[in-house]
């Protein structure tokens, strides 16, 4: 089921700038018992991302109403919200009369092996290096070809996720996840001011770490530093948290920190 | 008028990966007297770009047929061809069964002031710096947020185009054009192996320069080198060629080389 500007349809105006230029942003979140989890946080992030591109963000109440409509029929699902600049004439220039398009859709929950939660996951280090663009860093915009190309690097079902480094060799995260590493009493997470997407669950982990007085710097992390971690885990709003069990030849035992993070993320979240 | 996979419609499947991720490529070309100019060259570039993304490119004959259908009714227009990965399930992974989508549309010719051809154009140097991504450089893909953001930097109608530098300060081109500079007996054009779009008219100029024994290196060009040029011009398949008259405080008189390039580009082109 899909709502485009409030109307149930599977069709989008072919002149939409979301298609032409990837001129828009999106959110992917979990629906459980008919509730869109962390929706207020996701809305905040949507607003921030829209603002960064100079897009007008639909109102909270309009989106709430449409999400209610769609989640009622799909109480266990993945919700995707796309906001584009809207349909407009050809050319990069944004005309004054363009009105943003909102697309709300649900998808079935992905069927990951239970072992991903229970034993952790294997990563491959992607060959593709992310480019550095401070103006777009952190934003979940529709220009995601780098992620698509990185994901094409493997077809081995035993590899759950690809690890992305930037063009200077710093670890940024997974193709669809944010990354944290435990190092002694500190939690480190990649600085995302030059590339990457700063997700809602990443922010929650940062906040919970702060509340628990665990230092959690956002910093440059080289692959060699990552491989020396005591524990590594990945987060996003669909999977929650996965511990990393394996990166190439490097292995980690089941840790005690990831379950704590899972508890954090399982807390009620508006 | 728009054809999506051969059918006349203004609507695209909302699950198309062209929207979701900018997972596709496009071409923009001039239709004159009902003929798509340089169409064979554009098709070649479409093939190259599709291949670079691992997209299946529609056959030449299918596209020819659809273009004929659409240009017959719009003999003086701008033709845009978009090829996307097609509609598919959520997620960056490309599934085996996904089939590429082809979109053929026409737009009216843009109404640029005649002075752009006759006297040349003013450029602004954009603040946005292009990111470096060798894996996507040269390809006219649908991830064009950088161009959109750069084009938002000015709204002054006397500025025809924005000049884009990369993150290291090298000149790459305009937001929608390729750039050449004349320096003594040499023509220089930016190296586009790390970012930028390598257009069809740029290639024609390179070929014509070679045929005329004019050295035309593709090289790193700093802004300070550009400003010392004897003559600067911009090319694309819609405008043909525009001389640059002004970049900030720097001005150039009408040159003799740009008219020669205009002759080159006005030659018949299949």
Distance between alpha carbon B50 and the CA centroid of its chain, in Å?
Answer: 15
Q: How confident is the model at residue A267 (pLDDT cuts 50, 70, 90)?
A: very high
Distance between alpha carbon A26 and the CA centroid of its chain, in Å?
Answer: 9
Q: How confident is the model at residue B170 (pLDDT cuts 50, 70, 90)?
A: very high
Token pair for A241: 């948290």
pLDDT in tens, A62-91: 999 999 999 999 999 999 999 999 999 999
Q: Are strands B218-219 and B186-190 parallel, antiparallel or unpaired?
A: parallel
Average pLDDT over residues B38-66: 98
pLDDT of residue A170: 98
Is the minimum CB–CB distance between B94 and chain A shorter than 8 Å? yes
pLDDT in tens, B54-63: 999 999 999 9
Q: Are B231 and B182 in contact (CB under 8 A)?
A: yes
Query: What proportion of chain A, given as a percentage, has pLDDT over 90?
Result: 99
pLDDT of residue B128: 98
Q: Give the closest of A53, A94, A132 to B167, CB-based.
A: A132
pLDDT in tens, B214-265: 999 999 999 999 999 999 999 999 999 999 999 999 999 999 999 999 999 9
Q: How confident is the model at residue A61 (pLDDT cuts 50, 70, 90)?
A: very high
- Chain A CB contacts of B239 under 8 Å are none
- Rounded to whole angstroms, how far apart are CA atoms B104 and B96? 24
Tell me the residue length of chain A: 270
> How close B183 gets to chain A, by Cα (Å)?
30
Q: What is the mean pLDDT of chain A?
A: 97
**Minimal Cα distance from B20: which residue of A?**
A142
Q: How confident is the model at residue A239 (pLDDT cuts 50, 70, 90)?
A: very high
Average pLDDT over residues A167-183: 98
**What domains, with CATH codes, occur in chain B?**
2-107 (3.30.470.10), 115-266 (3.20.10.10)
Q: How confident is the model at residue B101 (pLDDT cuts 50, 70, 90)?
A: very high
Is the minimum CB–CB distance between B142 and chain A shorter than 8 Å? yes
Q: What is the pTM of this model?
A: 0.97
Q: What is the 3-state secondary structure (H, E, C) of chain B?
A: CEEECCEECCEEECCEHHHHHCCEEEEEEEEECCEECCHHHHHHHHHHHHHHHCCCCCCHHHHHHHHHHHHHCCCCEEEEEEEECCECCCCCCCCCCCCCEEEEEEECCCCCCCHHHHCCEEEEEEEEEECCCCCCCECCECCCHHHHHHHCCCCCCCCCEEEEEECCCEEEEECCCEEEEEECCEEEEECCCCCCECCHHHHHHHHHHHHCCCCCCEECCEHHHHCCCCEEEEEECCCEEEEEEEECCEECCCCCHHHHHHHHHHCCCC
Q: How confident is the model at residue B146 (pLDDT cuts 50, 70, 90)?
A: very high
* B22/A21 CB distance under 8 A: yes
pLDDT in tens, A29-59: 999 999 999 999 999 999 999 999 999 999 9
Which H or E run includes A201? helix A200-211
């Amino acid at each position: 089921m899909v709502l485009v500007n409030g109307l149930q349809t599977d069709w989008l105006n072919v002149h939409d700038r979301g298609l032409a230029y990837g001129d828009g942003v999106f959110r992917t979140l979990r629906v459980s018992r008919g509730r869109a989890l962390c929706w207020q946080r996701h809305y905040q992030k949507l607003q921030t991302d829209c603002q960064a591109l100079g897009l007008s963000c639909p109102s909270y109440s309009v989106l709430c109403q449409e999400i209610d409509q769609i989640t009622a029929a799909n109480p266990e699902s993945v919700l995707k919200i796309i906001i584009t600049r809207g349909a407009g004439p050809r050319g990069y220039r944004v005309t004054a009369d363009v009105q943003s398009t909102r697309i709300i859709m649900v998808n079935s929950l992905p069927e990951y092996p239970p072992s991903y939660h229970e034993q952790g996951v294997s990563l491959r280090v992607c060959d593709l290096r992310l480019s550095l663009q401070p103006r777009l860093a952190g934003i979940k915009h529709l220009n995601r070809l780098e992620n698509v190309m990185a994901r094409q690097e493997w077809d081995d079902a035993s590899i759950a996720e690809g690890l992305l480094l930037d063009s200077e060799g710093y670890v940024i995260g997974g193709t669809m996840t944010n990354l944290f590493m435990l190092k002694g009493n500190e939690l480190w997470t990649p600085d995302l001011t030059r590339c990457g997407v700063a997700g809602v669950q990443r922010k929650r982990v940062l906040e919970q770490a702060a509340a628990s007085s665990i230092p959690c710097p956002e910093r440059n992390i080289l692959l060699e530093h990552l491989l020396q971690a005591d524990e590594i885990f990945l987060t996003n709003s669909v999977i929650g948290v996965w511990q990393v069990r394996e990166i190439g030849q490097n292995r980690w035992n089941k840790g005690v920190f990831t379950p704590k993070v899972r508890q954090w993320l399982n807390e009620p979240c508006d």
